[in-house]
Amino acid sequence: MSDVTIARQDSIVTLTFDRPEKLNALTFSMYATVQAEIERVAHDSTVAAIFLRGAGRSFSAGWDRNEAVPDLAEALRRTNACRWAIWDSPHPVVAVTQGHCLGGAFELVLPADLVISTDDCLFGIPEVADGVAAGFNMLPWLTNHKKAKACMLTAGMFGGRAALEWDLVTHLTSAEHLEDTVTSVGERLRHVGSSTLAAIKQDTNQVYESLGMREQIDRSVARHDGVRFLDE
């Protein structure tokens, strides 16, 4: 059984991390599956949106530390390719988070177009405490610089309410009403033409790209050449 399940209902494609017993800890294979599916449907005009989800009680607790990662820069290039696929997809990508959204999972939802979160979800990049800086640092482009630094410098975790206030979440709800919110957002996206959605997304993304966001994020990866991931 795949660690990422792929389902489609009408015009909504849903990609679900399916390792609930490990809090959906992420591997290269899972990143590659998400990237491949997003790229596969990129020019399918019958797709209204792509939803990213996690099975069980967490979206994802972050990177699977049992996954061998000999070189940090190479790991970031591979995982960032998936994150840029989310950013570049003409379809809106909606992340649905609950429980935990940490580390590599947190960086995976940053380029998503919409984020639906439960109010008890915990966000953050705890790897900073192990000496690993973010490899996809989109935070300064999404929130103000002091909040971005607070997240990165302290390696602390923060809840859904703070994520909403920091503009990292677009829809905050309770666990009880999560599915209703997901359905509502999906229905709204269905009623907008795919070409209109693509144009809006492209125009908005280009504002950030014109300010050098992509170049800055990609440049930061080179600083990690030769560094081992989570080295003891």
Contact 28, 78 (CB under 8 A): yes
What is the reported pLDDT for 154?
82
Closest CA to 110 of 154, 152, 57, 55: 152
- Mode of pairing for the β-strands spanning 122-124 and 158-159: antiparallel
What is the reported pLDDT for 231?
46
What is the reported pLDDT for 133?
67
Closest CA to 172 of 180, 185, 187, 161: 161
Contact 74, 68 (CB under 8 A): no
User: b/e map of 32-43 (b: 16 or more CB within 10 Å)?
Assistant: ebbbebbeebee
What is the reported pLDDT for 224?
66
Helix (H, G, I), strand (E, B) or coil at 141: helix
Contact 62, 106 (CB under 8 A): yes
Neighbours of 23 (CB within 10 A): 21
Helix axes 213-222, 72-88, angle to 10 degrees: 160
Taking the C-alpha atoms of residue 7 and residue 188, their distance in angstroms, rounded to an integer, is 19
Q: pLDDT tens digits for 184-197?
A: 999 999 999 999 99
What is the reported pLDDT for 232?
38
Which residues does the chain have with pLDDT short of 50? 231-232
What is the reported pLDDT for 130?
72
The fourth-level CATH superfamily of domain 4-175 is 2-enoyl-CoA Hydratase; Chain A, domain 1 (3.90.226.10)
What is the reported pLDDT for 220?
81
Q: pLDDT tens digits for 37-69?
A: 999 999 999 999 999 999 999 999 999 988 887
44 Cβ partners below 8 Å, 6+ apart? Answer: none
What is the reported pLDDT for 221?
79
- Mode of pairing for the β-strands spanning 100-102 and 158-159: unpaired
Cα 175 → chain centroid: 19
Closest CA to 62 of 121, 102, 109: 102
